[in-house]
Structure 1
Amino acid sequence: MKMALHILFFQICVGIIALPIHILALLGLWDPIAKKAFPYLLDRITRTFNKYMKDHKKELFSNMSDFKGPSGELKVLELGCGTGANFQFYPSGCKVTCVDPNPNFKSFLSKSLAESDHVHFEEFLIAPGENMPQVASGSMDVVVCTLVLCSVNNIEKILAEIYRVLKPGGVYYFLEHVTADPSSWNYFFQIILDPTWKHIGDGCQLTKETWKYLEKSKFSEVKLRHIIAPFKWSPVKPHIIGYALK
């Protein structure tokens, strides 16, 4: 009870500091602002993220070429592509289709594509990962979804869509920040920041147990491990990383 009161007190303190954001959100005015501003913020964040997580990403995507189809093509679908921060880690010649519900990210992709000319860009689709009828069932060799499940409303539904669009034997790569150990200070700060963080992070929630959804999914094999990102003073240090096979 005492701990709950402490958490509530600090949540209120953070809420007061971010009061203009909460008021705009209550009035329905914050979301349009955040949709336009978030790509600029994410562009800086992902460059820093790649600096510290480069080795993890290289390892994660190291065998992507093994999933080429019989024709020798590698069709990749990236959900929540953001600014294209993963392109540099993809194998040469892969054909990438990007899906993101925020149309404001499209202009940022050109910069990443210019820096990753080994990637063949197919198209940018504006759609949520939970519902993307533009992508045919069984049409993709690879699906990539990183730092996205924290902000989706229905994880089961997006995992079902990933499963649907993958070819038999296809692979889904993931890297997601998750909730911290409940006995840790990191978790304490996640709980305090969560009510405000979701507005700043375009729906991002800090305390999701994302691995539980993956473990219950329809994939034939799920390989994941928990890691701690080397970020100082960050509420998003705990991550899961791995892949799932259809």
Structure 2
Amino acid sequence: MELAVFLLRLLVGILAFPVYLLHFLGFWSNICKKLFPPSMVVFSAIYNHQTSSKKREHFTNLQKFAGPSGKLSLLELGCGTGANFKFYPPGCRVTCVDPNPNFEKFLIKSVAESRHLQFERFVVAPGEDMHQVADGSVDVVVTTTVLCSVKDQEQVIKEVRRVLRPGGAFCFWEHVIAKPSTWTYFWQQVFHPLWFLLFGGCNLTRESWKTIEQAGFSQLQLQHVQTSPILGLVRPHIIGYAVK
């Protein structure tokens, strides 16, 4: 299998030579940073259409983590275009964090369409360093398809735990590597290098559940699921809650 992966990677690399050349010359990062947000508007619409029932079910329990005031304080890390807003409980206070400032204009549009939420602020920062957010200041941290692209998963989870209040929850919805010996696993290996460049550092081959399991949360509910077949290489997911 390793030889087949190598040869197919080589073929994909030849076909995608312009992308690799731009990356080698140092131009691709800026191009991708600008093109990624508008492309995510389209992808998020397709993704939500394919997963809406599961997502709605997944986010139904968020309100139970609200603090003494009864009003849920939610931080979404890697908020992107705000595609998750429609799934959040009415009245919750939302802070958004994303390292790409080019998402802001798309996020503002989603805020305007989400009158059931109380939007607080957009913080431009990587998940590894959310120092603008105070310790123990939020009830829930949400990530959806974010841990695949961060540079340091362990540091991100440390930051998630820091900003959560005691009893607060980390709500995750992440695509992961498929089971070995499956065709999905095989094609993930083939397309990973190009995928990483095209989708802003997204990694097809991460075992993100291991990082969450080892993070020291007091409670953990985690399940492996398969999303819609149309999502192909990112069909294998983990979803769940981890309580501080």
TM range (shorter): over 0.9
- What does 1:1-246 correspond to in 2, within 5 Å? 3-232=1-230, 234-246=232-244
Tell me, in whole angstroms, the C-alpha distance in 2 between the residues paired with 1:72 and 1:188: 47
Q: What secondary structure sits across from 1:62 in the alignment?
A: helix
User: Alpha carbons of 1:233 and 1:171: their partners in 2 closer, same or farther (altered >3 Å)?
Assistant: closer
Tell me, in whole angstroms, the C-alpha distance in 2 between the residues paired with 1:128 and 1:166: 17
Q: What secondary structure sits across from 2:96 in the alignment?
A: strand
**Deviation string, structure 1 residues 141-175 (Cα, Å, up to 9, x no partner):** 11001100000111000000000000000011000
- Give structure 2 stretches of 5+ with no counterpart: none
Equivalent residues of 2:47, 2:231 under 8 A apart: no
Tell me, in whole angstroms, the C-alpha distance in 1 between the residues paired with 2:203 and 2:64: 33
Equivalent residues of 1:83, 1:108 under 8 A apart: yes
Give TM-score, length-normalised by structure 1.
0.97
Q: What secondary structure sits across from 1:232 in the alignment?
A: helix
The one-letter code matched in structure 2 to 1:38 is F
**Runs ≥4 in structure 1, deviation > 2 angstroms?**
none
Equivalent residues of 1:163, 1:218 under 8 A apart: no
Q: CA deviation at 1:233?
A: 6.5
Tell me, in whole angstroms, the C-alpha distance in 2 between the residues paired with 1:115 and 1:17: 40
Tell me, in whole angstroms, the C-alpha distance in 2 between the residues paired with 1:119 and 1:231: 32
Tell me, in whole angstroms, the C-alpha distance in 1 between the residues paired with 2:136 and 2:193: 38
Q: What secondary structure sits across from 2:151 in the alignment?
A: coil
Give TM-score, length-normalised by structure 2.
0.98
Tell me, in whole angstroms, the C-alpha distance in 1 between the residues paired with 2:47 and 2:231: 14
- Give structure 1 stretches of 5+ with no counterpart: none
Equivalent residues of 1:190, 1:207 under 8 A apart: yes
Tell me, in whole angstroms, the C-alpha distance in 2 between the residues paired with 1:79 and 1:63: 18
Tell me, in whole angstroms, the C-alpha distance in 1 between the residues paired with 2:89 and 2:65: 11
Q: CA deviation at 1:99?
A: 0.3
Matched residues, number: 244
Q: What secondary structure sits across from 1:223 in the alignment?
A: strand
Tell me, in whole angstroms, the C-alpha distance in 2 between the residues paired with 1:234 and 1:72: 40
Name the % identity.
52
Equivalent residues of 1:179, 1:238 under 8 A apart: yes
Tell me, in whole angstroms, the C-alpha distance in 2 between the residues paired with 1:90 and 1:140: 15
Q: CA deviation at 1:23?
A: 1.0
**Deviation string, structure 1 residues 62-103 (Cα, Å, up to 9, x no partner):** 111112211222111000000001100101111100000000
